[in-house]
Structures are given as structure tokens and as C-alpha cells.
Amino acid sequence: MSPKPPAKTKKVILYTTPSCVYCKYVKEYFVDHKIEYELVDLGEQRDKVQEMVDKSGQMGVPVIDVGGEIVVGFDKAKLDTIFAK
């Protein structure tokens, strides 16, 4: 069995809305930690809402998908753990 790639090399997707304050914190976290991510603005990409709900079971944002590992909300401790791998 091969080892998992480091979290920083996994695809990172941030589901967000323009008015989400916690989404802003996630974006700042990604910039500070030099983490590349795909931004899904649900205000503009309404077709992605169901995708987010299917992944997270949640309607609220932010939802972060790190290579299939889901983080709901700005959970800095969990993000630190994921990206320390």
C-alpha cells in the first residue's frame, strides 16, 4: 500500500458565499499557509450547492474538501492537523 500524498498536494476546494465572514478567514488561512485551492462561489455557481450538500451533509458555508476529507466551518485546529500531514 502506497502512502497518502501530503495534504498540500491534494486538491483543495472551498465552497463559499460572498457574505460569509468565516469563508474570509479560511481564505486568509490558505494564503498564510501557501495552500492552493479551488474557489466555488455558491452565489455564482448555484449548480454546485447540491454537490456541497452531498459531500458535507450541510447547507452552511464554508465547506472545505481536502482530497475528500471534509471540514465544515473554519476549524483552524482541524485544518492545522490536515495540513501538517
Residues 15 and 25: their CA atoms lie apart, in Å, by 13
Q: Which residue has the higher pLDDT, 3 or 49?
A: 49
Q: Which CATH class is domain 9-84?
A: alpha beta
Each residue's pLDDT tens digit, 11-54: 999 999 999 999 999 999 999 999 999 999 999 999 999 999 99
Hey, how many other C-beta atoms are within 10 angstroms of the C-beta on 11? 11
Give the mean model confidence (pLDDT) for residues 42-69. Answer: 95
Res. 4: pLDDT tops 70: no
Cis peptide before 62 (omega within 30 of 0): yes
Residues 7 and 59: their CA atoms lie apart, in Å, by 25
Res. 82: pLDDT tops 90: yes
